[in-house]
Amino acid sequence: MLTYIIRRVLYMIPLLLIVSIISFTLIQVMPGDYLTRSRLNPYLSQETFDRMARLYGLDRPFVERYWAWLKGIVTRGDFGLSFETRNSVYFTLFMGDRLFWTLIVTISTLLITWGISIPLGIYSATHKYKVSDHTLTFFGFLGLSVPNFFFALVLLWFLVAVLRVGDHGLGVSGLFDNRYMGAPWTWGKIGNLLWHIWPAWVVIGTSGMAGLLRYMRGSLLDTLSLPYVQTARAKGLKERVVIYKHAVRNAINPLISLLGMTLPNLVAGSLVTAIVLNLPTVERSFWTALNAQDEYVIMGGLLFFSLFLLVGNLLADILLAWVDPRIRYD
């Protein structure tokens, strides 16, 4: 297993290199550049634009800029400077606690999503074509069809305009009210965090929860029709033992394979949610860089999301081998 993990980690290097080449190329074909907005200022001369282009390196050819950027990563671990903030890419993307809160929101959403969708999928499969099954199926398709940004806006409208939570001193933007910003951790601050973070859990996790519910239902229904399950029932085993000890254990394997896609999808899917709910996460830094065409920060963000995908797939493969003894990586 250790050899397999090392080999997979080594495979990540050329994959990230290919991602960086494609990403850098796509950024170059985008209309305009970082100086586009500055060119709208009638008080700036062409000499000023030329001086700014030399300062940011935008006057150099695409290949030369990419090679200098890649060389900086390999030799110094330097991902470049942000055009907008003149700070390092790492600081611009992860300034403050952005990386910490990104991981908190993502991992907590993942745990809640799986903790709810798997039992509901099992219940739906074991109550096939009953009212409860049709109800869960309806809400599953509804969760898959409603866009995150629309759901977030509707939820904000409901909290602010209908429930009028602001009249009770409760905010819905960010992760804390102003009185808790920078304050030491107390039970009151933890409660305030939970109040602010639950809309993110609902918005980000709804589509993933709906998809996992449908996957679990379909996988378990297929497993329950297999001969070994019928044999277990014929031996007189209790239905609960047949389902949870024999059927669910095999039916959940395909979902573990999906874990590699679920983790990065939660990060990417929380982009719009982070903007609407004003969450201090990496996605907001990435969105700001996209608007400003801050190419080195965009590159750093894309590599971060790609690394999330690769690590997620690796963790899914390791977890699958741990759950299913038939799978061995030699």
pLDDT tens profile 62-82: 888 888 888 888 888 888 888
How many angstroms separate the first and last alpha carbons of the chain? 7
Domain boundary among 278, 305, 321: 278
Instruction: Give yes or no: residues 28 and 121 share one domain.
Output: no
Mean pLDDT of 140-151: 82
Exposure string of 222-231, with b = 16+ CB inside 10 Å and e = fewer, is: ebbeeeebee
In a domain, 71, yes or no: no
CB 121 within 8 A of CB 212: yes
Handedness of CA 196, 198, 199, 204 (dihedral sign): positive
Residue 119 confidence (pLDDT): 92
Average pLDDT over residues 181-209: 84
Dihedral (C-alpha) 307, 311, 316, 322: value to the nearest 10 degrees?
180
Position 185 pLDDT exceeds 70: yes
Q: Give pLDDT tens digits for 105-140.
A: 888 888 898 899 899 999 998 888 889 888 988 888
Q: Does 70 reside within a domain?
A: no
Q: Is 111 helix (H, G, I), strand (E, B) or coil?
A: helix
> Is residue 183 a part of any domain in this protein?
yes
Average pLDDT rounded to a whole number, residues 46-52: 79
Q: Residue 8 falls within a domain, yes or no?
A: yes
Is residue 62 a part of any domain in this protein?
no
315: tokens are: 């963790």
Asked if residue 67 belongs to a domain, the reply is: no
Structural domain count, the chain = 2
User: Which range of residues forms the domain containing residue 47?
Assistant: 1-54+78-96+280-330
Same domain, residue pair 262 and 126: yes
Place of tokens 């409603």: 146
Same structural domain, 21 and 48? yes
Cβ–Cβ under 8 Å, residues 192 and 176: yes
Same domain, 151 and 82: no
Asked if residue 179 belongs to a domain, the reply is yes
Are the beta carbons of 186 and 109 closer than 8 angstroms? Answer: no
pTM over 0.85: no
Please, which pLDDT band fits residue 268 given cuts at 50, 70 and 90?
low
Q: How many other C-beta atoms are found inside a 10 Å radius of the C-beta of residue 2?
A: 7
Whether residue 327 sits in one domain with residue 184: no
Residue 328: is its pLDDT beyond 70?
no
What confidence tier does 90 reach under pLDDT thresholds 50, 70, 90? confident
Classify residue 69: in a domain, yes or no: no
Query: Is 70 exceeded by the pLDDT of residue 169?
Result: no
